[in-house]
Amino acid sequence: MHILGYRVPALLPPGMLVALLLAFVVFLVVRHRASPARGLLSAVLTLWTGMVLLATLAPQRLGAIQIERHGQRVCAVLPHLSPWGALHDDQRLLNVLLFIPLGALVFVFHRHAAARVAVMVALLPIFIEVVQYTFRSLNRACDGTDVVDNWMGLVIGLAIGLAFAVPVWAVRKIRRQLRARVNAA
């Protein structure tokens, strides 16, 4: 199957259904613990994480693309690290764009939880490359440039998320202070 000229892995449609189901469960759980809005945003974060994993770890049917040297598998380590290179290469641009929403959605959580979620999301690109390197049957190439591009997308997303989160956190703090004054009176 092809979408916009790109080959779509066969596991994508069923994988999307699983990610959607998992996101719905997250929505139900978080909605009862926090609020419907936070539940919805948590579900979107879960769904997008599932989409990233599907896009990066779904097996490819193409010919062997794993980098090998003397019969041993190797991981390409930062062959071209220029951040501007991501603007000229479709694959690198996609790696950046995939992670912008993850970075932006980190701040959906409370400040203390956001730090833990940010660390987990920052480790996700490394996890993906390790899985691509370890499991030959995925027929995916391990590339250190992907990690850098993913982190670039996360940083852009974190900046966007922080720009929206800081005013929200300030309003929440003011509301808590006002409630405390009303309750004290």
- The amino acid at 93: L
Query: How many helices, marked H, and strands, marked E, lie in the chain?
Result: 5, 4
- Residue partners of 125: CB distance under 8 A and separation at least 6: 99, 146, 147, 150, 151, 154
Section 38-59 average pLDDT: 85
pLDDT tens digits, one per residue of 163-175: 988 888 888 889 9
69 φ/ψ sector (left φ>0, alpha ψ -120 to 50, else beta): beta
pLDDT tens digits, one per residue of 109-145: 777 778 888 888 899 999 998 888 888 777 777 778 8
